[in-house]
Amino acid sequence: MKYVERLLKETEYLQLVKELEQTEADRIFCKHGLSHLLDVARIGWILALERGQEGAEKPGEPLKEKIYLTALLHDLGRLAEVKSGMPHHRAGAALAGELLIRIQYPREEQRDILAAISEHRGEKEAFEFSLEYMDEQKLNKDFINLIKEADNRSRNCFCCNAGAQCNWSKERKNQGIFW
């Protein structure tokens, strides 16, 4: 997983994760730090394996790396949301695009990562990249949905101390341990 290793050595990425964790240290709701990002990655990979998702069986595990990259990048836009009110999925997709270029992740493989980040909150919104990324026919909907599901399943809503104050709908809240 050479691109994940590159990302984890990227100074700007590490700084953003650290700042995000500091910003959310007193947050009573779900936090978006490295633990959450890794939970989403691990759950996403487990789901892909259990479902026999296309690419999970390939040597070198390119799907695994794609899941991990997406998960590690998907909530970085939270900082922009806190500072300026910009929705974090939109800010996160733009930031992820910059980081993927910096770690030299193949441009043709970035499309699904950026779409999954942009859509992980369930709100379909166009992200501002080249027309190549906007081509709906080329997007891997299974991958996008996998990331959304892994993100939701990573939440421990069923035992959250802030559950009564949470604005998530009952249907969206994760009501059990990952199964």
- Does a structural domain hold residue 96? yes
- pLDDT of 45 > 90? The answer is yes
- pLDDT of 54 > 70? The answer is yes
- pLDDT of 91 > 90? The answer is no
The whole-number average pLDDT for the span 79-91 is 76
For residue 179, the model assigns a pLDDT of 56
**Structure tokens of 24?**
């959310």
Phi-psi region at 52: left, alpha or beta (left = phi > 0; alpha = psi -120 to 50): left
- Does a structural domain hold residue 176? no
Q: How high does pLDDT run on average in the chain?
A: 81
- pLDDT of 125 > 80? The answer is no
- Does a structural domain hold residue 97? yes
- Does a structural domain hold residue 111? yes
The whole-number average pLDDT for the span 100-127 is 80
Q: Which of 7-11, 113-117, 152-156 has the highest mean pLDDT?
A: 7-11
**Structure tokens of 165?**
């104050």
- Enclosing domain of residue 79: 2-159
Q: CATH number of the domain that 84 lies in?
A: 1.10.3210.10
C-alpha–C-alpha distance, residues 148 and 104, integer Å = 25
- Does a structural domain hold residue 177? no
- pLDDT of 133 > 50? The answer is no
pTM over 0.75: yes
- pLDDT of 147 > 70? The answer is yes
For residue 128, the model assigns a pLDDT of 47
For residue 131, the model assigns a pLDDT of 36
* Counted domains in the chain: 1
Phi-psi region at 71: left, alpha or beta (left = phi > 0; alpha = psi -120 to 50): alpha
- Does a structural domain hold residue 165? no
- Does a structural domain hold residue 164? no
C-alpha–C-alpha distance, residues 56 and 49, integer Å = 6
- Does a structural domain hold residue 138? yes
Confidence bin at 162 (pLDDT 50/70/90):
low
For residue 84, the model assigns a pLDDT of 78
